[in-house]
Amino acid sequence: MSERRFRLLETEMIRRGVALRHARRAALELEGHYRELVDQALARDETPEQAQQSAHEALGSDAVLIDRYTREKELRSWAYPWRAVYLLAPLLGFACLFVAMMAALIAASGRLSTELHHVSDPRALVHDVNLALTVLLLWVMPAVIAMGVGALAGRQHIALRWLSAGIVVLSIITAQMNVRFAITSGSPHGLVGAGIGLSTGHLPYELLHVLALVALTLIPAAWLRRRVMSRWLALE
């Protein structure tokens, strides 16, 4: 009962915008205080029920405690006024990682251009690299980013609608992207290039692609968010 009160209090504080670390510490300290009050009441020969009741009363109501915490601006979460950032977070995360991956690929390709130019079957290599890039950049990366944002949203108790909206937008954009890797001739060592583009042809296929990507990214992200949130309420 007492543990449940403090877990719920902690969760409610986070939902109302108290920073995670302050809410966590508040629950820890309030629970410790409560136990000391119970011990003190038991030492006065109160029954366990009376002791728990008087300890809860001495601490004060949850509404007052939450109100005091939310009133202190130093204790508020920076993220609370910016919940809409979860709409943009998957996109920004994807853009940053995508640019980083492309830069790394271009750097690696530049160094290996001589070797790649002498590959006996460059078409097979290009096909394999393209497949790997497509799976990694356009399927795995959005899913990983969505899960990361989902875990963050769980820690902040951010509503699912913000997370879902961001992930759906990310899925639509990544479904419209393509990545191409090519070995071209024309310079002493040949050239290696990579590019992105948007495709609007084959609408049914594109729609299926979006739906598959939404399922791949949203379901694990929502599951992870729920799992992180439920850890706060996990009771023995």
- String of b and e for 63-98 (b: at least 16 CB within 10 Å)? eebbeebbeeeebbbebbeebeebbbbbbebbeebb
Which residue lies nearer to another protein by CB, 6 or 86? 6
Contact letters (x/-) for another protein, 46-75, by CB under 8 A? Answer: ------------xxxx--xx--xx-xx-xx
Query: Which among 10, 9, 34, 12 is positioned nearest to 24, based on CA atoms?
Result: 10
Nearest distance, CB of residue 50 and another protein, angstroms = 17
26 touching another protein, by CB under 8 A: yes
Which residue lies nearer to another protein by CB, 81 or 195? 81
4 touching another protein, by CB under 8 A: no
The answer to whether the CB of 86 falls within 8 A of the CB of 146 is no
Which residue lies nearer to another protein by CB, 66 or 91? 66
Distance CA 88, CA 140 (A): 19
28 touching another protein, by CB under 8 A: yes
Distance CA 62, CA 9 (A): 7
Nearest distance, CB of residue 33 and another protein, angstroms = 5
Can you give the binding site for another protein, defined by CB under 8 A?
A: 22, 25-26, 28-30, 32-33, 35-37, 58-61, 64-65, 68-69, 71-72, 74-75
